[in-house]
Each structure stands twice: as C-alpha cells, then as structure tokens.
Structure 1
Amino acid sequence: MKKHALALALAQALAAPLTIAPALAQQLAAPASPDSARELDVIVVQGEISYRDRAEDIVPTLSYDLEYFQRFEPLTVGDMLKRVPSVAFVSDVLEYDGAQLRGLAPAYTQVLINGRKVPGAGVDRSFFVDRIPAELVERIEIVRAPSANRSGDAIAGALNIILRDSYEFDGAYVRAGALRFDDGELKPTYGAVASGEFAGGRLLGGVNVQGRYNPKAKFSTRFESPDGDFTDREDQTDVRDGTDYSANLSWNRDIGNGRLRLEGLYVLTDRTQTENSIEYNDPSSASRDNLLSVNDQVVDIDQRNLSLAMGYRWDMAGGRSEVELGYATFRDEIFDTEEEVGYDDDDTPPSFDEFEGVRTLTDVDDTELSLKLAHARDIGGADMEFGLDLMDKRRDTDLAVSEVDTDVEGEPLPPYQDFDLRSSRIDERRLDPYLMFTGAGQTLEWQAGLRYERTEVDVRADGEAAGNDYGTLLPSASLRWNLSEDDRINLSLGRSVRRPGFDQVLPLTLEEEYEDNDFRGNPALDPETAWGLDLGFERRLGRRGVVGVNLFYRKVDDLIELVNTGEASATALDDYADELEEFLDENPGAVEGDPGYPVFDPDSFVYTVMNTGGGKVWGVELDLSAPLTALNLPDTGVFLNYSWMDSETEDEFGKRRFNNQPRYVYNVGFIQDLPGAGVSFGASYRKQGEAQFRILTEEVSTRYGADLEVFVEKRFGERLSMRLTGSNLLDASKDEVFHKFDNAADQLARDYDEYELETESAGPVYQLILRYAF
C-alpha cells in the first residue's frame, strides 16, 4: 500500500475533473487483439459503437480508428480531426485544412502519413490535412511528445495518419453517395476498397472520388477607426468548386525471415475558387449611385501529391533490422486572375476611374527522397534501437505576375503578356542519427533516447545564393506508470524543433509586404527549439471506454520574429523623392540646410526575421469516450473532449499569446444504437474560442460559431448500410475584426489606416451515403 501511495495521490489529483469515471467504470479485461485481418464488412456495417483506442506506445499517444469517425461520414482527415482533442482550425467556414495542435500555428504540428513526412503547400512547411480522404484512413494517432526514432519537427505534437494496410483488412466494399449544399448544388462521391491474397502476399487497393463545394457569403464594413466614420462596405460571394481524386496501394509479403512492404498514395485536387465582390460608399444601399468597385477573381488550382515507399524488416544478428526507401513529391499549379473596375468617389455619383487586372501564375515543385536504416535488439533488461534517417529535399518555386489596365470606360483589358518572373530553389539535406532504449516491467515502462539532426540548406533566388547549416541535439524520455490494469500515468520530457518557413529564408526583398514596409528574407535563420513536458492520467472504462486528462507545457527558444533593419523602405524613399522634387520645383537652386529643405525622416522600413524571441505554451486536455454500461445503457455511447490552452510571447508591441491560438476547443456528442432495428443515430457539437493574431501593421481577432452535426444510419443485413448526415446545421459564421496601420509607429500610437468588421457564413450540408461489402 505504501509503495503506491504517491502514485495513487497523483492519480487522484489529475483525475479531479473526471469524477464521472468511477460511476462508468467496469472492471473487465481488455479485449485481445485479433490475430488475423479484420473483415471489411464489419467495418462497413458496424455491429457496435467504436471508441478511442488505448494506445500501447510508451510515448503518450491517442489512437482513433476510422470507425470512431465514420458514422458522421467525414469527407477528409480535416473533418475527422474536428472530433479529437486539442486540434483547432483558423480557416474559412467549412474548411478544415491547416490543423493546429494545441492551438499553435500549423507549422508547429508535424503531419505524418504512415509515420513519414510528406511535402505540402504551406510556405511554413505545413501540410493541409483536408487533401487526404477519410475513406483511405485506418486510424489517426495524436502523438503528444517526441521520441528519438521520429523527426523532431513537432513542438506542438504530431498527427500520424495511418492508411489502410493490406495486412490488416480482408474483403471489399464500394461506397457511393451525394452531397447537397445550401444553394441546391449536388456533388457526387464514390469509391471502392478491396484487399486479399495476391502474388504470394496480401494486396489492398482503394480509390476515392470526392466532389468538393463550398459556397460562402462575406460581408465587410470598414471605418476610419473603431470609433471613426464609415468609409465603405463590401458584399462578396466566394465559391470553391472542384473534385478530389485519390488512390492508395499496399502490398505485403513475407520473404525469408522478414517482410517486404510496398506502399503508394496519390492525391489530385482540381479546384476553382471564384470570388465576386462589390464595394459601396453606403452602409446598406446597393444603388449604382453608391458603387465604388466591382471585383472578380478566379483561381484555378491543380495540386498533386505522390508518395511511394518500400521497406523490408528482417531478423539479423540477434535483433530486428529495417530499411525503408521513400519518395514523395508535391506539385502545386495556380492560375489566378483578378480584375477590378474602380469608380471615383469624389464624383456624385462615382464616375468610372480605371479597369485593371492582375494575373499570377504559381508553380511549386517539392520533392523529397528519404532513407531509413534501423536496428533493434534486446540487450538484457532493455531493448536498444539505433538508426539513421537521411533526407534530400528540393523545392522549386516559379512566380509570374502580369498587370494590365485601361482608363477608357467600356474598353477591354490589354492581353496579359509582359510577366515579371521570379524563381527560387531551396535544397535541404538532413542526416539524423538516433539511439533509443526501452524498458518494460510489470509496473513501470520507460523509453529514453537521443537524436541529432544535422541540416544543410542552400537557397537561390533571382540570381542570389546563400546557405546555412545547423545541428540540433534532441533528447527525449517517457515513463508510463501502470497503477493497475485500468489506471496509468504518463510522463514525457523532450526537446523538439520548428524549422524556418521557405519564404523566410529566401534572399529576396519584397516591397510593401507589410503595408508600407518591405520584407527581406534571412537565409541564416536557425530553427526554433522547445523543451516540452507532458503529464497525463488515463483510466479504462469497462471493456471499451477510456477517459484521460493531460497537462502540457512548452518553453520555446530562438523564436523567429520580425526585426526592423533600420533601412528605409522603398515607399519611404519614393515619398521623400517626391517631396524633394516638389520643394526644388518651388525653390530652384535650394541646397540642403536651407530653410524648409526637406529632411529625410522615414516612417516605414525594411524588416527581416531573426531568432530573437522566446515564449511558453501550456494547457490541459480532457477526453472521454465510453458506453453508458454502468447506467444500463450499453448501446449509448458518449464522447467528450475539452482543451484549454494558453501561451505567452513578446513582440515590439508588447506581450501577446501565440498567434491564432484559441483559448479553448471542445467537442461533445453521443451515438445511440438500436440493434434490433438495425438503426443508429447521433449528434456532435463543436466550439472553439476566440483567436488573436498580431503582426506588423495588422491585428486580427477571429471568432467562430458552433458546429452541429447529426446522422441517422440504417443497416440492411450484414453487408449494406445507408447513412444520412447533416453538418453545419447552425449556419456557423466566422467573424473577424481587423485593425490596420501603415507602419509600426502608427500601430503603437493606434493611428489607424482602417478598421474592418467582416462576417463569413455558409449553410448546412447534407450527405446520403451507401456502402456495400462483398
């Protein structure tokens, strides 16, 4: 009893918010893992409600199978992540792309597919999770802390997307359905998955075609300042229309004393984004007499991800060895045309002023080659694993911009011919050795390791070249204390990194990047680093339920922040040149020092980025998923997760939280199964708190409405199921407040350039989906 007194006291302290747990708990043993592949008809026509799995990794990990999400028919991984702890989004309404674990910016979250990094669209190195169809996924793991055998780019944690594997499933099924949107638009969705014996091994293949559509309405009102006069109003429609095509392949075969594994994933996004906006000089009128501008923008997006991997794991020298070769590429082609007719507000009614257009062509080609070598063995009392991860990355970006205009009313724009071309290339080579030890006893299980990440970077942009190299030592340790068969404590400590964004390291100077201020990249940037601590308690509830609470803390060093170089911006130089020319025209022959001679006193500058800051992040995460068996309701499942998050850093304007971190995010829901009728239904409600964002010349607060989803399912025998789901049933809106300034001095003095209120909204989406298993 004395031996476990401290452990039990700590468990009770951590479990204070979980007083519901004892009432729900049943002292039953965990079900045994299946020895053979699961039948796909069990996945398609579910016989019981699925809950969060209790992961056996020593590093604190939450695991959610596809069945946990499937009743609500998520379209993408982004839709799935809405129902797991600590994942927030600051995207447009009905868009769930850049996942923010612990509420931090997407660049702080490592997104893995089958445990491997993949390139993505974000210049901050983030990967948009809404591009992976939910139908290809076996499970999602939230890895809360670092370990030596995984890349350290995970200050907030890692999201590991595990695709369906041929060794785990057997059978086949097809899926077909349609989505109906608020404006009456219908989009199809269909796919198929099959798995079985092939060529001496097991093969799984899946294809998915998903119609994507998101009609939104935006309304903006602008003022001179928060208490100032009205300036203009903008009414806008924004429609994103396209189709996602995807396929994955997995083949496993036992060869010799090992297993060969081949994997492939292909995703194609073909999307068009159409925005139409009209500006008026009146808060409510839509009359021609109040018209300021008409703007039309069409963006054609073509994105392709290809990921291939080949691995072999075998017994060697008294241990287990592994070699894996990976190839991943991302291609992003964007054809963006924006045209605007402007009217002169000095006239009544406003008269035609100018018709102008901008065409921007963007081509990004990002390729990664990776090699993993690893060996694990028992060294007596512990397991030792050592290995080497190598990666060669190349990212080429081509940007072409053409601007045309005419001041003759009714005349078409000239053709887009003279393009301003800009090209850049980033080469990155990584060499990451690691050593890790794992020990397991009846009560205590532990893991400790050391990883060293060595990186060489070469950048080229518009004829300029630069380079950098850095090495980062990443120790990590995790401990699991099994208080009983049902209760355990997890403790983890480790160091992780966030590498600079691609746009931050290019040796380019971009004029008016921050209103009147210019920006110059810094190729000598080093990564941000962070020490992190996670402390959690988890309790098994009966045979299938789990409840847990986790405390986390991150101390971030070498934070990348904007820094004023002291150099005058191009705008300041141009303004001074104009002022000087006007003075000399009025005072011929004047020289510097004469009365009234203009003095150069710039108020906008050239900014760059440097490793100058620091910050800290902390919070608490609660999750519960369990049947109400203790209340004699075994066919009723309840789900709850709540995360409270906070942070602190400092910029030139003072202290603030990390940008776009909401104060909280939670999800609560239930599923009711009626086994005798072959019917299930349920609902899920999600809400996240307000987020703040502050950079040079702009401050934004973002608030979202709640999201309600419901489903009704009918099963026909053991092979056919039909689901009707509805999402965004509360017509959620995104409300933003923009504080805009011309320069840092004005921002400190609260001398506004513009104050804007914007609301974006979208209506409900309904899905009808049929699945049939063979």
Structure 2
Amino acid sequence: MRLSSCSIAVTPLPYREVKVPFIFNPRTFHPMKRNTLALRLSHALVCATLLPAGATFAQASPDGATDGTGEPKQLDTVVVQGEIAYRNRTADIKPVLSYDLEYFQRFEPNTVGDMLKRVPGMTFVGSDIMEFDGAMMRGMAAGYTQVLINGKKVPGAGDDRSFWVDRIPAEMVDHIEILRSASANRSGDAMAGTINIVLRDAYQFDGSYLRVGINRWFDGELNPTFGAVTSGKALGGRLLAGVNVQDRYRGKIKRSDRYTDPGRGELLSWEDQNEVKDGRDYSANVSYSADIGDSGRLSVDGFFVKTDRDVTEVSHEVEYDDGDVIESRVPGLNPVDQQNWGIGAGYRFDMAGGSTRLDLDFARFQDGSAEREEKHEYLNGSWDASEAEAEAVDARDTEVGAKLAHVRPLGAAELEFGIDYRRKKRDVSYTRYAWEAAREGDAVDYALDGVIGSLIEETRLDPYAMLSGHAGALSWETGLRYETTRSDVRHHEDGDAGGQVRRDYNELLPSLHLKWDVSEQTRINLSLARTVKRPNFNELIPALLDGEYGDNDYVGNPRLSPETANGIDLGFERRLGKHGVVGVNLFYRDVSDLIELVNTGQWSEDAHDSYAKDLKKFLAKNPGASEKDFTFAPESWLFTSANVGDGTVRGVEFDLSTPLTALGLPNTGLFLNYSWLDSKVSDFRGERRFNDQARSVYNIGFIHDIPSLAASFGATFRSQGDAYSRILAEEVTVKYGDDLEMFVEKRFGRNLSVRLSAANLLDASKDEFFHKFDNLDDQLGRKYDEYELETEQAGPSYQLVMRWAF
C-alpha cells in the first residue's frame, strides 16, 4: 500500500481531463533518468491506481504497466546509477519536497536518519555523535514532527510521540517526502511538518539485486551488511520482497568535567567513559498489488524491523571532597530488544461516478530493553561502597487505523471526502531493582525496588472534506478536518492502581493551499493550515516522580489540552535548465496552549521530610513552643505540566539541486541547502527559544560523474548550529562539530557497482554544557549545584559496498 502525495490527471471519459486532489505525489518528470517520459507516465498511473485522492489521474493500462511500455522500472537503474539524481520537482499544490533513494545512495546511508540529515531544515539534537534518530523539522522537538511510513502513522519509542527514523534501513526506501504544511486528508499532528517514508512497492519495480558490504570503524571493528530485493509478477498480481541485515556498531569516548560554576575555578569531579553499541538490525518489507475487475486494485504491504543491541559503558570517575579523593569504577550494560512492524491493506474501485478507497492498517512497537549500572567507590584508595541499580522496560504501543475516502468531480473542481478512525494503545511498565554491598567483593544480587506502569488509550474519529481545482495558472486546494479524541489514562505503582482519568477534546483544522505557475519554470506556493500537537505521554500520567528535576518532584497532568498552531508557508521555486531546481520557503507558526512546567505550590517530598526534621529540632530547642511558632521556607516543590500560553516559530529554508551545465560541467551536480531557524516562548525564567532548536543548519555537496571511466566521486559537508534548552533545575547548550563525507565508485556494465564511502572525516565531537541547580530558587538566583562540560567523539568510519542486479 503506497501513500505519498500525487497530482495526476484523471480521465474518466475520453478526452476529458478533470483535476482531483490526491493524497500523495508521484515522482515527476526527471530528464536525468532513463525512459523519463515513460517514468513520468508510470508514476501517474501508480498514484491513480493505488491512492484515493489527489490531483489528476489517468486511465491505467489493464496489464498494470507503469512505464508506458508494459513494464515497471527496472531495478538495475537503481543499482548502477549512470547519471546524477537531483531533488524531484513535484506537481503538488501543497508544498512538498521529494527525494528518491538515488538522491542519497551515492553516500551509502545505512538508515533513514542518515538520509534525512541532508534535507533542508532537518536537525538532530540529543542524538549521539554520528547517530540520527529523532528528526526535528524546523528545529522543533521531534514530537512536533509527524513521521509516516507509506502514509500511515506508526508508533515509536519516544514518550513525546516521536518515531526514531534510524530504525528504518535506507535500502527499504523508495523515496522520502517532506510535507511542509498540512492538508485535510492527513492527520493534523504535523506542527513542524511531516516526513513520509515511502517504501519500495511491487507495482513500481521489477527485477532483483543484492547489496553486500562491510563497515570499518575508527577502533578497527569490522561489521558486515547485507540486503536483497526482488520484484515481479506473482499470485495474479505483482509482488516485491526485501530483506536487510546489518550489524550496527558505534564505539565512542566521552569526557566530563564538573566545576562549582561556569568560572571553572574549582574542579569538583571528572569522568572518562568508553561506550560501545554493538548489535544487529533485521528488517524486511513486502508489497503485493493486483487488479480486480475493471476498476479495482488491491494493495497489501508490510514491514518488520528488529533491533538487537548491547550498549556497554565503562566509566572511571574521580571526585574531590574536602581533601578526600573518591574514585569510582562504573560499569553499565543496556541490552536493547525492540521491534517495529506494521501491515496495511488498501482497495480502490470506481463507484458512483468517482473513485472510492478503503484502507486498513495495524502497527506495533514493542520494547523489552533493560539497563543496569554498578558503582564501586574507593575513598583515598580504600574500598568504601558498592551499589547498583537496574531497570527493565516492558512496552507495547499499538496503532490501528481505518480510512474510507471518496473522490469525484464537482463542477469544474474536485471533491474528496472521507473519515479516519484510529485507536492507539500504549501499555508501558518500568520495573526497578537495587542492590547495596555489605562488604567488598559481594556478588551483585538485585532486589525489587518498585514497579510503575501506565496504560494510555486514545480513540479518534476524524471526518474531513477537501475541494481542489484550477483556474488558468492558479491551482488551489482547501479543506476542513475535524479531529475528535477520547483519551483514557490509567497508572499503577507497586501493584496499587492509581485510578483512571478520561479526557475528551476536539479540534477543527482548516487548510488552504495555492499554487501559482508564474511560468513553465517558476511557481509560487502559499499554504495556510492549523495543526495540533498532543501532550507527551509522560506529561499525562498522574504518578509522582520523586526528585525528577533536581530536588523538585513532578506529577503528570492527564487533563492537558493539545497545543495548536496556525501556520503559514510561502515558497518560491524555479527550474534551472532541464534538471536543476532552486527554492526558498518562509514559514511561521503561531502556537497556542503551549505545555510547560508549572509549580503546583505544593511542597516536594524532600521539603516535607525537611520540615518534619527541622520542626523536631525546633521543638527540642524551644520547650513549650508549638508547631504554629515554627517557620519554614521550602527549597523544593512539586511541579506539573500545564497549558500556559503562546509561542512563535519562524524561519527561512533555501535549497538548490542542479548540474553545473552553465559552467561547462554537465557531469557535475551541486547540492546546497540552508535553513535559518528562530522561535520565542516564555517559561518560569522569562523568554527563550523552543528547547533544543538549533539556530541554523546547512548542507553543501557535489557529485562528479566520469562517463568514460564509468566512475564517480563526491563529497558533502554538513554544519548544524548550537541549540539551547531550559527546564527546571537544568540548562543545556549542545554543539555538534561539522560533518564531512566522501565517496568514490566504479560501475561495471549495467549490473554491478562498487562504492567506497567515508563518514565523519573531520572527527566531529558533540559538546554539551550543563548548568545544574538544586531547585527553582537556586536557578533564578544562579546558585549552582555544579557546572559540567561533556564531550564525546566516535572517529571516522568507512564502508565498502557492492551492488549486483540480476
């Protein structure tokens, strides 16, 4: 089942063309590829037969041909790229950027995260060095970005509802769409935008290929990678199957220095750490499509990803305390066992003068990971204490969805209407264990230290209607989506139920998109849309977390309302020659009902304990006094999350993708994008930017092809600006070093290619600056608990890959 963004021509009667607003977009005419006109027709037919709503759609040939010649695209054109691939210029009315796998493939990305780091406005803050998991469009937190697979929502690991894009291998992907604004026929959870990861499908490809490679890391570790894809006629239709197995390894070194304050006058402690992430990812995807009757088309697709990994840490810590030296050996192990899988089915057929589609999907994320850490302390060279903590996670996050949509002509326009049903169930429990040694050398024997869990169920029923059309050079699309949400939150702690809270809320989400074709080469897009961001899961759970923010406690608020935003995108795009494209986009988001930390006014558990102790001392020193004579100033409080106010986000995104033909270099492609990002929000200390929003990000690169040698080489350079975040009791600035990647390849005929690529050639580091406080008063008064500098590096890596088509 293929869900992307299309704008195709529908010809329900001979010689009559009707404009229709489809929900996704075929890759458009690209002169740099073989059979370009045929491929353009093929993509139109793919969208017309597989999807329910969009632009214009044409009659599909009865044999399912996708290239005008009766055959789908041959996979050998993917394996052996004789020409440079550029960013696609889609025909969508709404602002969409589309990138085929071939756009990224020369640099041999391992995951979707490796691909996304090269697209405009995409930042990664919080990811370890050389890792790209939580994608942040416009620099907003990952939870503001909607991630879809084949147009469908998928559950992920993040409490902020984010999906870790490094879970999907690059080899499973056909193309990636960046949807900058929302439309009525998609979920409105896209305040920053939407990433649609479209996997390869049977209808579009034919043939088979193998991918075999090996990675070498800076510490000498070697890891293999393997992938295979095959597609062809089967079972009365077309079938595609792919598998991918890759060892995932990352070794890094980390150094932390902790001082009394930013002046670094007194060193409190330091830590050296070696970390190794060593594991294997298994993945597979399958796609089947078949024609049924005169107008029906059935499509079924599924994917499976399993992450099996051990994260090993060994730290050496030294702390200075009033002349004493406390050394600690801190080994830790985090076995990761996670699975993502999903299956979907779609059926499209002509009905009542239009086209109807029914979609069903099921997806699940499952996490059975654990984490444990020991600490063995030595005071002035002699053993002093040993203790350990462990935590096991048991999480199941399930999404079930159904969609019924109908599209039909309405006068000179096109009408699409439908209804989306979605049910989400997230069941998570954390089991904690602890141990403390009585003497040196005692074996670690964990005892149960508590269990906390939650069950969150959300049910949505979202009707929508969308109208589109065109008048001369102006094309338009407008729609309304009404999202209804019923949320049930339950939690338990140590076997005791914490009760159940129900919360219902509804949001009306209008959208409008205008596209003005100024000329055949130039167009201007304007989009207005209202979007929504539902609360993070941990913000909804009313369980007390002791000392969550320094000495301050935290309790969730299940009655939170979602954040909403009115957004505008204004874009200009121009074709450069036959293959190039340049664009600039301005965006603005006016965010309401922002969710921030607030003080409940209640004391923390530590404050209650301190009150009891201090009162006892006061009464002992003052015989005859009573409690009413005692005064106490708490230093820590109970905080929660609340809808507190408004915020704004704005920025400019520029991208260029073009051959240098005008400079006499037709076999050289230049790639450049730059994004300037800004925002404003108020919190307990005043104004700041949205947490973790980088100030800018840019990529620049080139690919040069040498046809006479059947060889190519290229390089890409990426730089991301600093990011700042402020929460209760902690403020952090994050800096990432610049990233340089290069590749060289040799092609052998039409069926074999060998490519050597290198990443992180500048040995970039991730540097973090932590300002830590015990409580809010200390934070406001700048009374530091400690100031920490932390840096990590992972060294360059190299990859040798061979692809063979057959």
Q: TM-score, normalised on structure 1? A: 0.93
Name the structure 1 match of 2:279.
242
Q: Match for residue 260 of structure 1?
A: 298
Counterpart for residue 695 of structure 2: 663
Counterpart Cα distance in 1 of 2:107 and 2:138: 24
Quote the offset at 1:507 in angstroms: 1.6
Matches for 1:165-244 after TM superposition, within 5 Å: 165-227=201-263, 228-244=265-281
Query: Would you say the 8 A contact 1:137–1:163 is kept in 2?
Result: yes
- Cα deviation 1:31-79 (Å, max 9, x = unaligned): 5614321100011001100000001111100000000000000000000
**Unaligned ranges ≥5, structure 1:** 1-24, 284-288
Q: Is the Cα–Cα contact under 8 Å of residues 30 and 543 in structure 1 kept in the other structure?
A: no
Percent identity over the alignment is: 57
Give me the whole-angstrom Cα distance separating, in 2, the residues matched to 1:67 and 1:708.
Answer: 20
1:357 paired with 2:395, answer no
CA distance in 1 between counterparts of 2:553 and 2:301 reads: 45
Q: Deviations over 1:465-520 (max 9, x none)?
A: 11100000000000000011110000000100000011111121111110111111
For 1:355, the aligned partner's letter is S
Q: Confirm whether residue 615 of structure 1 aligns to residue 650 of structure 2.
A: no
- Asked if 1:722 is matched to 2:754, the reply is yes
For 1:621-770, what aligned pairs fall within 5 Å after superposition? 621-770=653-802
Matched, 1:409 2:444: no
Contact 2:741 2:761 in 1 (8 A): yes
Question: Which amino acid is 1:373 matched to?
Answer: L
AA matched with 1:50: A
Deviation per residue, 1:220-239 (Å, 9 max, x gap): 11111112411111111111
AA at the equivalent of 1:236: Q
Partner letter of residue 454 of structure 1? T
2:452 pairs with 1:422: yes
Cross-structure match for 1:22: none
Aligned equivalent of 1:398, options 429, 443, 448: 429
Q: Secondary structure at the match of 1:53?
A: coil
Show the counterpart of 1:12: none
Q: Which letter does structure 2 place at the counterpart of 1:96?
A: F
1:234 maps to amino acid: E
- Alpha-carbon distance, 1:258 to partner: 1.2
Task: Tell me the equivalent position of 2:46.
Answer: none
Q: Which moved more, 1:659-668 or 1:420-429?
A: 420-429
* Alpha-carbon separation, structure 2, partners of 1:371 and 1:398: 28
1:501 aligns with 2:501: no
Q: Aligned to 1:637, what secondary structure does the other structure show?
A: strand
Match of 1:383 among 411, 414, 418: 414
Secondary structure (helix, strand or coil) at the match of 2:627 reads coil
1:476 aligned partner, one-letter code: S
Alignment partners' CA distance in 1, 2:177 and 2:599: 41
**How far apart are the structure 2 equivalents of 1:281 and 1:301?**
31
Structure-2 separation of matches of 1:150 and 1:357: 47
Q: Shift of residue 441 of structure 1?
A: 3.4
- Distance across 2 between alignment mates of 1:657 and 1:239: 34
Instruction: Read off the aligned partner of 1:623 and give its amino acid letter.
Output: D
Does 2:312 match 1:280? no
Equivalent position amino acid for 1:331 in 2: Q
Aligned ranges for residues 108-187 of structure 1 at < 5 Å? Answer: 108-187=144-223
Q: How does 1:518-667 map to 2 (within 5 A)?
A: 518-586=553-621, 590-592=625-627, 598-667=630-699
- CA deviation after TM superposition for structure 1 residue 587, in Å: 5.0
Q: Distance in 1 between matches of 2:320 and 2:217?
A: 31
CA distance in 2, matches of 1:740, 1:103: 24
The answer to whether 1:319 aligns with 2:354 is yes
Report the Cα distance in structure 2 between the residues aligned to 1:211 and 1:585, rounded to whole angstroms: 65
How many angstroms does 1:591 deviate by?
2.5
Post-superposition CA distance 1:256-291 (Å, at most 9, x none): 1110000000000001111111112479xxxxx955
SS in 1 for 2:763: coil
How far 1:250 moved relative to its partner?
A: 0.3
In 1, Cα distance between equivalents of 2:257 and 2:390? 27
**Is the CA contact (8 Å cut-off) linking 2:182 and 2:193 kept in structure 1?**
yes
Of residues 456, 463, 483, the one that matches 2:486 is 456
Which SS does the other structure have where 2:448 is aligned? coil
SS at match of 2:412: coil
- Asked if residue 271 in structure 1 is aligned to residue 309 in structure 2, the reply is yes
Unaligned runs of 5+ in 2: 1-30, 43-66
1:243 Cα deviation after fit? 0.7
Kindly indicate whether the alpha-carbon contact (under 8 Å) linking 2:615 and 2:627 is maintained by their aligned counterparts in 1. Answer: no
* C-alpha distance 493-161 of structure 1, shift in aligned 2 (>3 A): same
Contact between 1:466 and 1:507, CA under 8 Å: does it hold in 2?
A: no
AA aligned to 1:639 is F
Partner SS, residue 367 of structure 1: strand
Contact 1:667–1:684 (Cα < 8 Å) also in 2:
yes
CA distance in 1, matches of 2:90, 2:520: 14
> How far 1:402 moved relative to its partner?
1.0
Residues 31 and 543, structure 1, Cα contact 8 Å, conserved in 2 = no
Question: Which residue in the other structure is 2:333 paired with?
Answer: 298
Question: Is the 1:60–1:145 Cα contact (8 Å) retained in structure 2?
Answer: yes
Structure 1 pair 645/401, CA: closer, same or farther in 2 (3 Å)? Answer: same
Q: 1:446 and 2:457 equivalent?
A: no
Query: Does the CA contact (< 8 Å) of 1:233 and 1:282 recur in 2?
Result: no
**Shift of residue 309, structure 1, vs aligned partner:** 0.3
SS of structure 2 residue aligned to 1:210: strand
Q: Does the Cα contact within 8 Å between 1:353 and 1:407 map onto a contact in 2?
A: no
C-alpha separation in 2, matches of 1:442 and 1:211: 54
Q: Hey, what's the Cα distance between the residues in 2 that align with 1:298 and 1:592?
A: 49
Letter in 1 for 2:104: F
Match of 1:432 in 2: 462
- Measure the CA separation in 2 of the matches of 1:663 and 1:419: 42
**Separation in 2, partners of 1:212, 1:560:** 36
Q: Is the 8 A contact 2:516 2:525 kept in 1?
A: yes
Amino acid at match of 2:456: I
User: Can you list the C-alpha shifts for 1:635-674, whole angstroms capped at 9, x where unaligned?
Assistant: 1000000000000000010000000001100000000000
Once the 2 structures are TM-superposed, how far is the Cα of residue 423 of structure 1 from its aligned partner? Answer: 2.0
Q: What do you get for the CA RMSD once the two structures are aligned? A: 1.7
Contact 1:278 1:291 in 2 (8 A): no
Report if the CA contact (8 A) 2:398-2:424 is conserved: yes
Matches of 2:669 and 2:281, distance apart in 1:
32
Query: What SS does the corresponding residue of 1:418 show, helix, strand or coil?
Result: strand
Residue 333 of structure 1 and its aligned partner are, at CA, apart by: 1.1
Secondary structure in structure 2 of the residue aligned to 1:42 = helix
Q: Give the total of aligned pairs.
A: 736
Give the counterpart letter for 1:437 in structure 2. Answer: L
SS of equivalent to 1:84: coil
State the Cα deviation string for residues 711-734 of structure 1 (Å, max 9, x = none). 000001110000000000000001
Change (3 A) 1:94 1:653: same
Distance 1:752 1:89, change over 3 A: same
Secondary structure of residue in 2 paired with 1:603: coil
